[in-house]
Amino acid sequence: MMHMPDDDKFHGLLAGYVAPAEEDGFSDIMMAEIDAQSVQASAAKHALLRRLALYAAAFIGGIIAALQLPKLLGLFQGAQTSLPELPVSELSLAELSFNPALMMVAGMTGFILWAALDSRASELF
- The contact set with other proteins (CB under 8 A) reads 1-2, 6-7, 10-11, 13-24, 26-27, 29-31, 33-34, 37
Closer by beta carbon to other proteins, 26 or else 76? 26
User: Phi and psi for 86 in degrees, rounded to 5?
Assistant: -105, 140
Q: CB of residue 51 vs other proteins: minimum separation in angstroms?
A: 22
**Contact assessment for residue 108 and residue 64, using Cβ atoms and an 8 Å cutoff:** yes
Q: How many residues does the chain have?
A: 125
Closer by beta carbon to other proteins, 25 or else 70? 25
Closer by beta carbon to other proteins, 27 or else 89? 27
Q: CB of residue 64 vs other proteins: minimum separation in angstroms?
A: 39
